[in-house]
Chain A
Amino acid sequence: MIRQIRIELLKLVTVRLSYGLLAVGVALTGIFSAIEASRAGKVSSVAPLNTYSGLSTIVTGGVWGLLLGAVLGVTITSGEFRHQTATLTYLATPNRTRVLAAKMVAAAAGGAVFGLAVYLMAAGVGLGFVAAHGYPVSIGAGTFVRYGLGHVVGGALLGCLGAVLGSLVRSQLAAVIAVFVWSIILESLIGGLFTSIRPYLPYTAGTTLAGTALGAAGFGPAHGVSGAAPLPFAAATALLAGLAVVLAFAAARTTVRRDVT
């Protein structure tokens, strides 16, 4: 299994797409974090940067970049069918469940790197603006570490879910569209209509792991709407990990077994 994971990680680091997605995620996080930081204290949605709330908003504001970690996960599995490399993969490792498991681990590793990278960018921008204004840093070191850990864990779990989704859907384009539509639009709609289930929605759970307020990481009717408390860290982790396992089991019983023609 270790060799299989090494194979999948090697595949990941030998294509430009991985670096491109990471660069886009980090760059967009930098841009949006800077925009939000420049509006802090001037609009009602972002508190002043010398407050805990204001700096937290900026430091966790790039969490939507974790979505690109999920997209990376999608490409790890669906890319095998897009480029017809599944043939070589399954010739080397006929145990397809093992291949899927290794891909989930590789996607989790990739997602974790995405989470850490966007967090470092967002935190860097937030602290840069705080320093430029001469404000005191209103967040303690422990909170910074907790947010960082949340980004890494959230990114890993969303990356893993992306890999499972790509395995279930196989069509890379359809799976990537599904990630964006579900995370940014449908979760917001469902969360806006049924606030009690909102913390349990996977993208929301992933982003709240990283410290983002409910509704802050999406668009649509539920953006910025509260009404329920986010899940505790352990519960959100268990929810996303459990969902990945259940969907992986479904994939292993269905699409993974399909003929490779």
Chain B
Amino acid sequence: MAGMAIIQAHGLTKRFGSVRAVDDLSFSVERGSVTGFLGPNGAGKTTTLRMLLGLVTPDAGTATINGRVYADLPEPLHQVGAVLEASSFHPGRTARSHLHIQALAAAADPGRVDDVLDLVQLTPAAGRRIGGFSLGMRQRLGLATALLADPEILILDEPANGLDPEGVRWLRGLLRGFAAEGGTVLVSSHMLAETAQTVDSVVIVDHGRLVTQAPLASLTAHDDLEDAFLRLTGHPSLKEAWK
């Protein structure tokens, strides 16, 4: 099945008032790949991910996962795990309570709660209220939530935000391991050097439009990812600015 598109966006368009956040955006993500979803602030990355997940309704175009719109996926959390923001937890709930609720919502084995707590290294904090968690701990809890139902796809919006260097390395290993077992990852990030160590291909957007979709190797044949990104999005690189 490797090589087949598992996530497809076709002609996605979304306006917020007079702002065209996403403009006729089309791209695809292949099964078993780790794809970086890159773009400057305000490029429309988060809106696009939310359209993929049925949280935002596109004005035009379609977004499908496994050939279906998200709302039509049976037991969607068994197919897609998502981390969209590190703050979407009730602060008064403990991490374990949160995961038990999510396990019930996902129709996942409650025994997975302890598994994912171990996986994200939050077992010692399982009984603490989430309101007292650092940003990095919330990111780990978000990943634990996404992994609860053992999905085949991960959609992650800036998952490395708030992680310390050890956490970033851990995340890299997690994503590569997930893909090595046949999983598919679509991950947005601003951390280009880190992204270059993790992804197989990239989708670059700017002003809501597709700039390029390419394998990482072809994009970085002559530049590093940061220079290629800045060149493609029309911003001078630091090296060019110094010249």
Contact = CB atoms under 8 A, between A and B. Distances in A.
Contacts of A6: 104
Given A85-B88, A260-B55, A15 B101 contact: no
Interface string A245-261: 00000000000010111
B85 A91 contact: no
Contact of B90 (A15, A257, A259): A15
Interface string B72-89: 010011001010110111
A84 B47 contact: no
Nearest to A4: B105
Nearest to A84: B88
Contacts of A85: 88-90
Given A14-B97, A15-B92, A84-B88, A259 B50 contact: yes
Contacts of A3: 104-105, 107
For chain A, the bracket of interface size reads 20 to 34
Nearest to A16: B92
B127 interface: no
Given A259-B55, A260-B50, A261-B56, A88 B145 contact: yes
Nearest to B51: A259
Nearest to A260: B55
A169 B50 CA distance: 22
B99 to A, nearest CB: 11
Contact of A259 (B56, B71, B87, B106): B56
A7 interface: yes
Nearest to B75: A92
Contact of A92 (B92, B93, B105): B105
B140 interface: no
Contacts of B101: 7, 10-11, 14
Interface of A: 3, 6-7, 10-11, 14-17, 79, 83-95, 257, 259-261
12 contacts: A3-B104, A10-B100, A11-B90, A14-B93, A15-B93, A83-B87, A85-B88, A92-B105, A259-B55, A259-B57, A260-B55, A261-B47
Given A14-B101, A87-B55, 13 more contacts: A3-B105, A6-B104, A14-B94, A83-B88, A83-B91, A84-B85, A86-B88, A87-B85, A88-B88, A91-B76, A91-B82, A93-B105, A95-B71
Closest CB pairs A-B (n = 4):
A92-B105, A94-B71, A14-B97, A260-B55
